[in-house]
Chain A
Amino acid sequence: GENVEQHPSTLSVQEGDSAVIKCTYSDSASNYFPWYKQELGKGPQLIIDIRSNVGEKKDQRIAVTLNKTAKHFSLHITETQPEDSAVYFCAASKAAGNKLTFGGGTRVLVKP
């Protein structure tokens, strides 16, 4: 089955700096890659997703890149703010709507 590795497990950045989280996946049949933000005690919130027919997608301060050949995808957060502090999860599935396999999560701390 699919295996998703996520790095780093923790990330501390200064407010205003950029944060980058990287994930690799094992199943070349995976085509859908969402990213979720989870705050303490809450359910994950979708922040951005990318499908295999595109290499990059951007939404304001958040961007995701996908390299299908290398089987890795990354989340980029620019101009970080304290409210960006949370745990971020990457995930992969064969198609949108299929069951997701999650990475281990990255705990991001943005220091004011």
Chain B
Amino acid sequence: GAVVSQHPSRVICKSGTSVKIECRSLDFQATTMFWYRQFPKQSLMLMATSNEGSKATYEQGVEKDKFLINHASLTLSTLTVTSAHPEDSSFYICSASEPLSGNTIYFGEGSWLTVV
């Protein structure tokens, strides 16, 4: 299957600072990427849909000024958690739609964010 890579896999940041997570489609071009958040032992919660060259579409209840999403190229989307607080600590996962496999969605390895 197609490969989606996230970086960093783990990050610790201080409360009040911002942190950026990258999501790359390594062997295909993705016009659409998705960002999810997952708390321990819970399901995946969609945060936003990222479209290359346009503004992201956020799900209800997700603060777009806090979770900045940029999809500047067909292989890279970034999620920036601004002014992070301990409650933002979570597992963040991206996914991308792979056109050549009928738009099958593949997930990255996830990024653990801990805000201290």
Contacts and interface: CB of A to CB of B under 8 A. Distances in A.
Interface of A: 34, 36, 41-46, 49, 89, 95-97, 99-105
Given A99-B34, A103-B43, A104-B43, A34 B105 contact: yes
B107 A44 contact: yes
B97 interface: yes
Contacts of A36: 107
Nearest to A105: B43
A89 B44 contact: yes
A43 B97 CA distance: 15
Nearest to B6: A43
Nearest to A32: B103
Interface string B99-114: 1001111111110100
